[in-house]
Amino acid sequence: MSRQYKMTATKREGAGKGAARAIRRDKQTPAVIYGDKKEPVTISLPTKETNLEYNKGHMFTMICELDVDGEKHTVLARDAQLHPVTDNVMHVDFLRVTDKTSITVSVPVNYIGYEESPAAQAKGILNVVRFEVDINCKAKNIPESIDVDLSKAQIGDAIKISNANMPEGAKPAISDRDFALAAVSAPRVVLDDEPAEGEEGETAQGDAPAEENKE
């Protein structure tokens, strides 16, 4: 996979909340590397760089070349614990990945071509159900997104996962049904005899109805 980023880390000793707090006071973020049938390695990351990479939004879908005291590890972030107030990263779990590693990951759905479709020309309304989908794929071949071509969409169409252009080697995590991604509905039609807003059941200000003559 060509898309990747790099980070540096150092091995750390000790575990538990006390050790983690001490690491954070030194502007470091505790983390762990696990998987590939090897012993976990506890590490610390520079807090500033960790938050920067997390906020770019790619940590869970892009391979990281992690340099731990000069030793290279190919990893993928699988979980990040955030501070409940600041949203700063408090801890990261990294999975070791190889060419054989398969994972389930959430990727964006990219709807393309709708502006040129018959539905759009008829002023149809595209109602998106899913902006992301979970797929099974190789960890080193995670796609940036999944494309759905809507250039031929008609009003009334239901867009399903079978309409998506799945990358080679990837398949939906939900495999027991052809689930919906979006739908195209007809434009709302306002009838001429519908009362305009404020017309029905209202009187003009200052024109209160005359009181009934009870004499």
Q: Give the per-residue pLDDT at 195.
A: 57
Q: Sheet harboring 146-149: ordered strands across?
A: 164-165, 146-149, 102-112, 132-138, 171-172
Q: For residues 67 and 141, state if they share a domain.
A: no
Q: For residues 62 and 129, state if they share a domain.
A: no
Distances (CA, A) of 132 to 2, 107, 159, 177, 195: 22, 5, 14, 17, 41
Dig out the tokens for 126 from the structure: 């595209």
197 is a domain residue = no
Which CATH number does the domain housing residue 162 bear? 2.170.120.20
Q: For residues 85 and 113, state if they share a domain.
A: no
Report the distance separating Cα 60 and Cα 80, nearest Å.
9
Report the distance separating Cα 139 and Cα 81, nearest Å.
21
Report the distance separating Cα 165 and Cα 96, nearest Å.
28
Give the DSSP H/E element, type plus range, for residue 132: strand 132-138
Let me know: does 80 contact 156? Beta carbons within 8 Å: no
171 is a domain residue = yes
Q: Give the per-residue pLDDT at 188.
A: 80
104: three-class secondary structure by DSSP: strand
Report the distance separating Cα 202 and Cα 195, nearest Å.
11
Question: What residue type is assigned to position 64 of the chain?
Answer: C
Q: For residues 35 and 65, state if they share a domain.
A: yes
Q: For residues 75 and 128, state if they share a domain.
A: no
Mean pLDDT by 10 residues, the chain (215 residues): 83 76 90 94 96 95 95 96 95 96 95 97 96 96 94 97 93 96 88 54 45 45
170 is a domain residue = yes
What is the domain count for the chain? Answer: 2
Q: Give the per-residue pLDDT at 207.
A: 47
Reported pTM: 0.77
191 is a domain residue = no
Q: Give the per-residue pLDDT at 142.
A: 94
Which CATH number does the domain housing residue 52 bear? 2.40.240.10
Which of 121, 3, 4, 149 shows the shortest CA–CA distance to 72?
Answer: 4
Q: For residues 50 and 134, state if they share a domain.
A: no
Q: Give the per-residue pLDDT at 21.
A: 82
Phi-psi region of 206 (alpha: psi -120 to 50; beta: other; left: phi over 0): left
Q: For residues 81 and 111, state if they share a domain.
A: no
Q: For residues 12 and 90, state if they share a domain.
A: yes
Q: For residues 64 and 84, state if they share a domain.
A: yes
Q: For residues 111 and 125, state if they share a domain.
A: yes
Q: Give the per-residue pLDDT at 30.
A: 95
User: What is the domain range of residue 153?
Assistant: 103-185
Q: For residues 107 and 168, state if they share a domain.
A: yes
Q: For residues 127 and 58, state if they share a domain.
A: no
